[in-house]
Amino acid sequence: MDIERIHTPVMLERTLELLAPALEREGAVYVDATLGMGGHSRAVLERFPNAIAVGLDRDTDAIAIAEERLTAFGDRARFVHTVYDGIAEAVHGEGFAEVDAILFDLGVSSLQLDRAERGFAYAKDAPLDMRMDSTRGRTAADVIAEYSEDDLRRIFRDYGEEKLAARYARAIVRARAESPITRSGRLVEVLHDATPAAVQRAGHPAKRVFQALRIEVNEELSVLERALPAALDLVAVGGRIVVLSYQSLEDRLVKRVLAAASTSTAPAGLPMELPEHRPQFRLLVRGAELASESEQAENPRAKPVRLRAAERVRRPS
């Protein structure tokens, strides 16, 4: 596998620019909460020779590749097999009470998309798996086989923001009554047949359904909802966090958490803001930043990305 060809870190230069003031500290600790194949971590270790990187990932294949790619950095590169809501336990397990920089590069990785047998890509026929950690948990095929029509409709609507959620759930229940749906190709056929011709011209009918299944299988939103507060608690004063989101549900959650952390808690009507009410973080970018047009042209996976970032300015007394 040509790792350099399939793995181009998204918004790498902007991420490093935002994290640099924290990473330039002596002995800076950087946490890559979604290690993947280690592209961002390698750049950090190369450019900030005093930094230590702690990489987390639930995908054992990704960790194995990252370990090989980062072996030259010796014990400056640490690896923990965990879902990123285990970030506090992972950091403490490596002997650190707090950290200087954290990156979340959310969504499905290049490795998972490009290995057809993982079942993430609707354009490739494969077993309906979609587990980011292939060693445990239910698969997308399990969800398709076991969920009621109401539950399928709910996840397609809530996690895929799919307008035809009810129609697709009904079609799947009918199709599985005839024979099990265990492969992505068969699921795509069912969805295609259930899609009006006018809607098909507006985009691939399976895109949002596959997103919804992936989020459900990996509990992505509930994991992220737990992970972000835990990550913020770890950031030292002057430390920074960057989050790259690839779909609106993630980005809205990130926006809400960072907004709360960067907003005064002073009750309305107080004549002055007391120190204990001052925000603990300040936002580093206005709104959500997009990848440049040139990066989007060179790397199509950068098109949907939304970047948000914050810096800790104080700890509670």
Residue 40, annotated as binding a ligand: yes
Which of 246, 240, 252 is closest to 280 using CA atoms? Answer: 240
The pairs formed by 88-93 with CB atoms below 8 angstroms and a separation of 24 or more are: 88/230, 88/233, 88/234, 90/31, 90/54, 90/56, 91/29, 91/31, 91/54, 91/234
Asked if 181 and 145 touch (Cβ cutoff 8 Å), the reply is yes
151 in a labelled binding site: no
Q: Is 57 annotated for ligand binding?
A: yes
Alpha helices in 161-315 (DSSP H): 165-178, 184-193, 197-200, 207-218, 220-234, 248-261, 293-298
For tokens 């979604």, the residue is 34
- Ligand-binding annotation for 38, yes or no, is yes
Confirm or deny that 39 is annotated as ligand binding: yes
Instruction: State yes or no: 32 annotated in a binding site.
Output: no
Under a CB-based contact definition with an 8 Å cutoff, are residues 158 and 211 in contact? no
Query: Tokens at residue 263, please?
Result: 């907003």
Name beta bridge partners: 104.
243
For 225, residues 6+ apart whose C-beta sits below 8 A from its C-beta are 253
What is the C-alpha separation between 175 and 187, in angstroms, rounded? 9
Answer yes or no: is 112 a known binding residue.
yes
Residue 82 is given by DSSP the state S
Element (H, E) at 43: helix 39-47
Can you say whether the dihedral through the CA atoms of 259, 20, 61, 67 is positive or negative?
Answer: negative
Annotation: binding site: 38-40, 57, 84, 105, 112
Annotation: binding site for S-adenosyl-L-methionine: 38-40, 57, 84, 105, 112
